[in-house]
Amino acid sequence: MKTHTQVVVIGGGIGGCSTIYHLTQEGITDCVLIERDELTSGTTWHSAAQVTNFGPNQTMIGLKSHSIKLYKELADDLENPINYHHGTGGLRLASTQDHIDGYNHFMSLAKGMGVDFELIDAAECKRRHPLITTDNLLGALWDPLDGDIDPAQLCQALARRARQAGAEIQRFNPVTGLTQKPDDSWIVHTEKGDTHCEKIVNAGGYRCNELGAMMEVQLPVASMEHQYMLTEAIPELEALDFRVPLIRCPTDDFYQRQEKNGLLVGFYEQGCKTWGLDGIDPQFTMALCPDDLDRVVDVMEGAFQRLPCLMEAGIHSIINGPITYTPDGLPLVGKIPGQRNAYCITGMRAGLGEGGGHGWLLAQIIAHGEACYDTWCIDPRRFTRYANEEYTALKAIEDYQNEFRFHMPHEHRPAGRPMKTTPLTDTLETMGAEFGTVNGWERAVYFKPSDDFKEQHSFRFNNSFDIVAKEVAAVQNDAGIMEVSGFNRYEISGKNVHDWLDGIMCSRVPRKTGKVGLTYFLNHQGNVKGEATIANVGDGKIWYGSAAAAEYHDMDWLVEHLPDDGSIKVASLTNNYTILVVAGPKSRDVMQKCAPRTDWSKEAFSWLSVKKVYIGNAEAMAMSVSFSGELAWELHIPNEQLKLAFDKLWEAGMAFNLKPFGLLATESMRIEKGYRHWKADLICEFNPFESKLERFVKMDKEFVGREALVAMQAGEPRRIFVSTEIDTDEAPAHPGDSIVHNGKIIGTITSAAWGHRVGKNLAMGFVDPEYAQIGSGFEVEAIGKAFAARVCEPCLYDKAYELVRS
Ligand SMILES: Cc1cc2nc3c(=O)[nH]c(=O)nc-3n(C[C@H](O)[C@H](O)[C@H](O)COP(=O)(O)OP(=O)(O)OC[C@H]3O[C@@H](n4cnc5c(N)ncnc54)[C@H](O)[C@@H]3O)c2cc1C
C-alpha cells in the first residue's frame, strides 16, 4: 500500500474509476483509488446503465460522446471485452409542439459537437419500436448511439487499465479522515493506514457528504430513491430479431430499455422520496432500498398505455436505489469551493452514461488546471453558500419530478425560492416583478402588465415580447431603474495592490483614483477566464465587480494568486451591497434631483468614473458605467439603505417618467451594444483575440497567461466571436444553436435576443475565421429551420458611444 502519492481518489464507483483511469491517461500515473468496500458497491452496481448522447449543452454532449467512444473501445477489447449494447438507438418522445421545438434546438446544438440526432414522426417511432402505441404521440428525437452497458464490467475495465498504467486500487479500506497540511497537501486517513498526497478527489457518491464533513465542506448533493422494474420474457419481444430502442418519456415520466427478452422500465414519480438526508447506515453497501411500487402507480399507468405488452408481463424483480442530485441536475465535477488541492466528481444522476466523460474532464482539470471544454456547467463553484442541505433536497425533488422535461427558455422553476432576497424584493413584487434567479438571488426578469399575466414559455418569440419592448422604450426615451441583486463585489486592498492586479489582468487596471475600467483575465492556457469591472475608489482600495455567478470562481482565482506575505487582502462585499441601475437620457435629471450634493454633469461626473454619493440620506458608490448603452449610473448601495435609496430615486423619478425594467430588457440592449455575458459569450475555450477583446489586451506588460497567449498568436485562430442579425421575427436563436453554411457547421450561437431599439433579431456566437468578416452570410438554425443571417457590426446602437458620454 502506497503511503505517498500524487492524487488519491476516494470512491470506486463509475466516478472514481473513470477519474483514476483518466488521470493515468493525462500523465499522472502515481495515483491511488481507495474504496471502502468492493468496487461499484455504492449506486453503480444496480444502475440501469443507459448511455445516451443527449445533453442540455455542448459540454455535456461532448463529454457524453467521450463516454460512448471509450465504452466502445473497452467493449471491443479482444482480451477483456465488456457487455455494451452500443448503438441500440433511443427515442425521446414528443407529445407537444414545445417538445418538438426543444428537440430541434437540442439537435442543432448536438450537431455542433459532431453528434447527429434525428427528429422522426410517430409512424417512424412505431416502425423502430413495434411494441409502442402512437396515441398522443407527435414523434421523437432519435439518438442513434443510445444503448446500455454492464456497470460492474465497465468499472473493472477502467480499474484494470488504470492499474496497468501504474495506479494502485485499494478495496475494502474505508477513508476515515482527511487532514490538510500547512503546505496544502493532504493526509488521507484510512482503516489500513495513512497516505500522504498532493491532491484528493471526493468520488463518494451518495456518501460524498460524509467525506465532505471530514474537510468541513457541505456539497449541494441530495439522494433520491429511484426504482425500476425488470419484467419476465415478453413474447412480442422474443418474436423480434432486433433489440427495441430505449424510450424516455417527458409526459409520463418513465424510461424503458430491453433486458434480455424482457423490458427494464424505470419511473420518476411525482410523490418521490429523498434518501439518507439524516445519515446513512454504515452497513448500507451493495444494498437496495425496500421496493415500493405503490409509489410509482401514477407514472406506471402512462408507461402501460404506451407499452401495452407490460400489462401481460410478469414482474421479475424491482430495484430501488439511491441516486444523487444537485440543485440544477448537473453534477459537481471540478474544484471544491474554498479548498486547495481538493476536487470532486459527484452528484451524478446519470453517472453511467456521463461518468466516462466527467472523469476525463476532471483528470484534465487536475493535471492541467483546465479541461478541453469550458466546464462551468458542472463546476462545483457555480453553487454558493445558499445551496444548503434543505434547499438542495427541495431542488432534487423538483428535478427528479421533471427528469425528462427540459427547461423552457426563461423558465425558472419554483422549488426552494425565494432563497436570497434583498430589502427591495417585496416592493418590486408589488410593482409586478416576475422573478428569475441568478446565483440564488431573486432578480426581476420583467414587470407584468397585470396580476394574472402568465408567460407562455416557448422557443419562439412569446407574450413577453411586447412587455420587454415597452421596458426598453422607457429606458431609451426617458429613464429606467433596475435592481441588480447579488452582483459580485470584492474590496481589494494592500501594498502595491494595483501592480498585483495588473499582473493578473491582461487589461490595464485603472490607477487614477475615481476611475473605472473593464478588465479581463486569462487562465494559464491564455484563454479568457473572467471579466471584472475595476473601480479605483481611493485610499489604495479597489472595488472589483463581476457577474453574480462568479462569486466563488473569481475569489478562488484571486486567492490562488495572492502574495505569500499577506500584503494584499480580498474581502467579499457581495452580500452587503446591491446595485440599482438608473439608465436613460433623463437619468442625470433623476440623479441630480435626489442626490443634489453631487454634481452629475457631464464635466463633473464623466463616463467611467466613480464617486461616493448620497441619494437623499442613503449612501452609495456611484459609477458612471452602462450595460444598456444609454447614459447610466450603477449605484452600489449598502443593503440596509437599499429601500431608502430606492424610494428616493422613485420619488425623484416621477417627474421624469422613471419606469422599472428587468433582465430581459437588459439582455436585448446589451446585445445591441455588443457587450458580452460571462460564461455565455466569454468562455475559456477561446483566447481574448478570438473573443474580439483585443482592445482590452495590453501585451506590453506581464500578466497571467501571457506566454501561452503569445504562443497562440503564432497559430491560426480557432474561431472568431461575431454579432449577427437573423432574418426572421418567428423565433430567436438560442445558445448552442448551430450556424451553418452550405450544409456545413461553421459556428455556434452563444447569446441571442430581439434588439428592440434597432428592430432586429440579433445573436452572438463564434464562427470559423473565414466567416467572421462583416457582411459574411450564412444560416442560423432555430426551431428546426435555417434562417438567413449575416455578420453585423458588433455595436448596432449608438456606435460612437455618444449617449453614454452625453
Ligand atoms: C435505480 C437506478 C437506475 C439508474 N440508471 C441509470 C442509467 O440508466 N444511466 C445512468 O447513466 N445512470 C443511472 N443511474 C445513476 C448512476 O448509477 C449513478 O449516477 C452512478 O452510479 C453514480 O456513481 P458514483 O461513482 O458517483 O457513486 P457510487 O457508485 O455510489 O460510488 C461511490 C463509491 O464511493 C465509496 N465510498 C463512499 N465513502 C467512502 C469512504 N469513506 N471511503 C472509501 N470509499 C467510499 C462507496 O463505497 C462507493 O463505491 C441510476 C441510478 C439508480 C439508483
What would the 3-class secondary structure string for 81-122 be? CCCEECCCCEEEEECCHHHHHHHHHHHHHHHCCCCCCEEEEH
From ligand 1's centre to the CA of 234, what distance in Å? Answer: 30
Residue bearing the CA closest to ligand 1, atom 7: 49
From ligand 1's centre to the CA of 19, what distance in Å? Answer: 14
Across-strand partners of 789? 726, 778
Residue pLDDT, tens place only, 575-612: 999 999 999 999 999 999 999 999 999 999 999 999 99
Across-strand partners of 179? 187
From ligand 1's centre to the CA of 212, what distance in Å? Answer: 16
Residue bearing the CA closest to ligand 1, atom 20: 351
Q: Which three cell numbers stand for residue 106?
A: 437540442
Task: Using most ligand atoms within 8 A of CB, pick from 207, 258, 291 the residue to mutate for ligand 1.
Answer: 207
From ligand 1's centre to the CA of 85, what distance in Å? Answer: 20
From ligand 1's centre to the CA of 527, what distance in Å? Answer: 34
Q: Specify the ligand 1 atom closest to the Cα of 37.
A: 47
Burial track 494-529 (b if 16+ CB lie within 10 A, e otherwise): beebbebbbbbbbbbbbeeebbbbbbbbbbebbbbb
Task: Using most ligand atoms within 8 A of CB, pick from 22, 43, 219, 324 the residue to mutate for ligand 1.
Answer: 43
Residue pLDDT, tens place only, 426-485: 999 999 999 999 999 999 999 999 999 999 999 999 999 999 999 999 999 999 999 999
Strands 568-572 and 488-494: antiparallel
Task: Using most ligand atoms within 8 A of CB, pick from 323, 343, 344 the residue to mutate for ligand 1.
Answer: 323
Q: Which CA distances in Å does 46 have to 79, 289, 302, 321, 400? A: 25, 11, 24, 7, 18
pLDDT of the residue at 463: 98
Whole-angstrom distance, CA of residue 224 vs CA of residue 350: 13
Question: Mind giving me the DSSP string for 500-566?
Answer: HHHTTBSSPPP-STTBEEEEEEE-TTSSEEEEEEEEEEETTEEEEEE-GGGHHHHHHHHHHT--TTS
Residue bearing the CA closest to ligand 1, atom 33: 11
Residue bearing the CA closest to ligand 1, atom 18: 351
From ligand 1's centre to the CA of 366, what distance in Å? Answer: 21
Residue bearing the CA closest to ligand 1, atom 41: 175
Q: How many CB atoms lie within 10 A of CB 420?
A: 20
pLDDT of the residue at 87: 96
Burial track 623-635 (b if 16+ CB lie within 10 A, e otherwise): bbbbbbbbbbbbb
Q: Is 496 left (phi over 0), alpha (psi -120 to 50) or beta?
A: left
Q: How many residues does the chain have?
A: 806
Q: Specify the ligand 1 atom closest to the Cα of 204.
A: 34
From ligand 1's centre to the CA of 355, what distance in Å? Answer: 10
Residue bearing the CA closest to ligand 1, atom 34: 11
From ligand 1's centre to the CA of 49, what distance in Å? Answer: 11
Model confidence at 660, pLDDT cuts 50, 70, 90, reads very high
User: 418 preceded by cis ω (within 30°)?
Assistant: yes
Query: Is residue 244 within 8 Å of residue 129, measured between CB atoms?
Result: yes
Task: Using most ligand atoms within 8 A of CB, pick from 68, 352, 399 the residue to mutate for ligand 1.
Answer: 352
Whole-angstrom distance, CA of residue 717 vs CA of residue 678: 20
From ligand 1's centre to the CA of 275, what distance in Å? Answer: 14
Whole-angstrom distance, CA of residue 342 vs CA of residue 216: 12
Query: Is residue 704 within 8 Å of residue 521, measured between CB atoms?
Result: yes
Percent of the chain with pLDDT over 90: 100
From ligand 1's centre to the CA of 31, what distance in Å? Answer: 21
pLDDT of the residue at 257: 98
Whole-angstrom distance, CA of residue 19 vs CA of residue 21: 5
From ligand 1's centre to the CA of 40, what distance in Å? Answer: 7
From ligand 1's centre to the CA of 327, what distance in Å? Answer: 18
Residue bearing the CA closest to ligand 1, atom 12: 350
Mean pLDDT of 199-214: 98
From ligand 1's centre to the CA of 53, what distance in Å? Answer: 19
pLDDT of the residue at 606: 95
Query: Is residue 597 within 8 Å of residue 653, measured between CB atoms?
Result: no
Q: Specify the ligand 1 atom closest to the Cα of 228.
A: 1
From ligand 1's centre to the CA of 351, what distance in Å? Answer: 7
97-111 helix and 58-75 helix, angle to the nearest 10 degrees: 70
* First CA to last CA distance, the chain: 71
Residue pLDDT, tens place only, 52-87: 999 999 999 999 999 999 999 999 999 999 999 999
Model confidence at 719, pLDDT cuts 50, 70, 90, reads very high
Residue ranges around ligand 1 (CB below 6 Å): 10-16, 34-37, 41-44, 46-50, 174-175, 203-207, 210-211, 226, 228, 285, 319, 321-323, 346, 348-353
Whole-angstrom distance, CA of residue 672 vs CA of residue 675: 8
Task: Using most ligand atoms within 8 A of CB, pick from 33, 45, 47 the residue to mutate for ligand 1.
Answer: 47
From ligand 1's centre to the CA of 12, what distance in Å? Answer: 9
Q: How many CB atoms lie within 10 A of CB 570?
A: 18
Q: Specify the ligand 1 atom closest to the Cα of 211.
A: 41
